[in-house]
Amino acid sequence: MKKASIVWIVLVQWVLAFEWLHSGWGKWAAPGFMDNIGKALAGFADKNPCPWYANFLNSTIIPHADTFGNAIRTGELLVGVILALAGLLLLAKRRLSPAATWILVLAFFGAALMNLNFYLAAGWTSPSTWGVNLVMGLIHLILGLYYLSNRKELAN
């Protein structure tokens, strides 16, 4: 793989990593996040224009809001760390081991899933929330598929 291609991909990857690290760390650092997670989720469900997702929030997520909140803030940090470290490995070695590639692909797909969930929960609250989560989710899917389809080339 050409060094220039890797540099551009890693730059995009690091922007995404920064967003996830910033968001995840913010949720861990702010005591109000866990104190208000149930209330925030109930607000997303209350006026959600997607009835099936509002029902999912009310029946599955809100009763387990603390578990969900911990999973989200931990998942965001993990995705950020994985994207950042994989970028460093790619720049240093220009390759990834098969295990590292699979972990990176799972991180991209997990990130896309988090974006999709936040889009469904809160995308209706503002055009920027709607757009940013769609764009980030699509970029995660594209990069995840890219790494998945080039995993043999990346291992050489």
Mean pLDDT of 53-66: 96
Give the pLDDT confidence score for residue 5 in this predicted structure.
79
How confident is the model over 108-145, as pLDDT tens digits? 999 999 999 999 999 999 988 889 999 999 999 999 99
pLDDT band at 94 (very low <50, low <70, confident <90, very high): confident
Residue 22, CA atoms < 13 Å, CB-side half-sphere = 6
State yes or no: pLDDT of 46 exceeds 80. yes
Count: domains in the chain? 1
* Mean pLDDT score across all residues of the chain: 92
CA–CA distance, 142 with 146 (Å, rounded to integer): 6
Q: How many C-beta neighbours within 10 Å does residue 138 have? A: 12
pLDDT in tens, 6-18: 889 999 999 999 9
The model's pTM: 0.90
CA distance 72 to 66: 10
Domain assignment of residue 32, given as a range:
3-155
CB-CB contact of 9 with 149 (8 Å):
no
On the question of pLDDT at 74 being above 90, the answer is: yes
